[in-house]
Chains A and B, each alone.
Chain A
């Protein structure tokens, strides 16, 4: 077990953004987190990462858990001069060999060192992925990494994520809209239902039978 959320809830004012969420990510597992807009997918991810305080339930993380995170949006200020390689060492210094191999893992090693503002949407998402995996994370949390990327590009990105999971033996929590991809490649699929229904807001869908079930995220 890398992280385990039990009956997790986050409230803003009187309104519950998410509630009664059970979710576990094990090493080497790919867990899909799906739900409609406004169902609280990003909130759920941030709560699991400890970026948001939870108001109910519990989140357990193993000690010294190394996390790679690709946030949903990263608005770079055009006044900040950042190149591809400088972004890789944003939060920690790394030897250049390690930068090269992280860039190679996402196919950006032959790009040179251009300003990040000149990258295409797909290249930028792959760069963010490289930035997350250079830390050699135990857990990779990806918040809609394929957004703004076309169908072919998102297929490439998914293959990449599978490769990374295999190479690093890390757990992956992948937030997505794509139910089909989730059903075919995920170990487990957690579906968030907007809380207005006031039921338990998470069901687990068995990726093989498609049947919804309740319970913890064990495979």
Chain B
């Protein structure tokens, strides 16, 4: 049953979860779930652009997502509109422009279903190399910005006074998130990637005593969800992305079934 494509999908998913775990912790700590959604939605615009200029899909998605991150970074400082309004504007604006652009190419076969929900059959050797190369690079970047980013999560002012550069760390994190989401498209799809970022970290919160423990735990839960989800997908012939997310959800519910923590510790 362990076909070549399945091994590739498994390796790709594990490489991805290794990064979505720690990165997802920051999404949870900093309340960036909607920010993640926005980047994911912009992926469709990225697909349209990749088709237009004949780029590799993942590259097209990454470049577009990174541009959205930069636009958000700029708008947040220049505009008086609230952050969620700006995010909604970029998110749905990007999605709509992407869909309109794609409609100009009726002959281009773009598998929307696969983009939205992932397609394990589609993971090529190149994808695998991109995911693992990018994954190791992303973990290195995260390691590099860990202290300033964590300090900025607690208080940007404290970080600046201590001579750290929280703004730069936040921008690097945004670009890193764009890369993670681009790489995740084949595995879980545009609509479900944020689930892979937040469910593992939410699952391990109550067991973690430090931010670092929570990040490592989230990576482990994410890898478990990917492996379990892919086996389920192969066994029951269900779409890979939703199967992975359902597995993550089951893991999350299992962690909630044990003893309840004293009030005030985890919410």
Chain A residue contacts of B150, Cβ below 8 A: 90
Contact check, B211 vs A91: say whether CB atoms are below 8 A apart: no
Majority secondary structure, B binding face: helix
The verdict on B266 contacting chain A, using a C-beta distance below 8 Å, is yes
How far is B265's CA from A80's CA once the two chains are assembled, in angstroms? 10
The one of A81, A83, A91, A118 in contact with B214, judged by C-beta atoms closer than 8 angstroms, is A81
Contact check, B210 vs A49: say whether CB atoms are below 8 A apart: no
How far is B158's CA from A74's CA once the two chains are assembled, in angstroms? 10
When each residue 112-154 of chain A gets 1 if its CB lies under 8 Å from chain B and 0 otherwise, what string results?
Answer: 0001011000000000000000010000000000000000000
Name A77's closest neighbour in chain B (CB-CB): B29
The one of A77, A78, A117 in contact with B153, judged by C-beta atoms closer than 8 angstroms, is A77
How far is B182's CA from A98's CA once the two chains are assembled, in angstroms? 44
The verdict on A79 contacting chain B, using a C-beta distance below 8 Å, is yes
Contact check, B158 vs A81: say whether CB atoms are below 8 A apart: no
When each residue 76-119 of chain B gets 1 if its CB lies under 8 Å from chain A and 0 otherwise, what string results?
Answer: 00000000000000000000000000000000000000000000
Chain B residue contacts of A71, Cβ below 8 A: 155, 157-158
Chain A residue contacts of B159, Cβ below 8 A: 91
When each residue 147-186 of chain B gets 1 if its CB lies under 8 Å from chain A and 0 otherwise, what string results?
Answer: 1001101110111111110000000000000000000000
Contact check, B161 vs A92: say whether CB atoms are below 8 A apart: no
Contact check, B211 vs A80: say whether CB atoms are below 8 A apart: yes
Question: Which chain A residues numbered 70 to 123 have a C-beta less than 8 Å away from chain B?
Answer: 71, 74, 76-83, 86-87, 90-92, 115, 117-118
How far is B190's CA from A22's CA once the two chains are assembled, in angstroms? 55
Q: How many residues of A contact B (CB 8 A)?
A: 26
The verdict on A211 contacting chain B, using a C-beta distance below 8 Å, is no
When each residue 61-72 of chain A gets 1 if its CB lies under 8 Å from chain B and 0 otherwise, what string results?
Answer: 000000111010
Contact check, B162 vs A81: say whether CB atoms are below 8 A apart: no
Name B267's closest neighbour in chain A (CB-CB): A78
Contact check, A80 vs B29: say whether CB atoms are below 8 A apart: yes
**How close is B35's CB to chain A, nearest CB, in angstroms?**
15
When each residue 44-56 of chain A gets 1 if its CB lies under 8 Å from chain B and 0 otherwise, what string results?
Answer: 0010011100000
When each residue 179-214 of chain B gets 1 if its CB lies under 8 Å from chain A and 0 otherwise, what string results?
Answer: 000000000000000000000001001001111011
Q: List 16 A-B contacts (CB under 8 A).
A: A51-B160, A67-B161, A68-B161, A71-B157, A74-B155, A77-B153, A78-B265, A78-B266, A78-B267, A79-B28, A79-B202, A79-B266, A79-B267, A90-B150, A91-B151, A91-B163
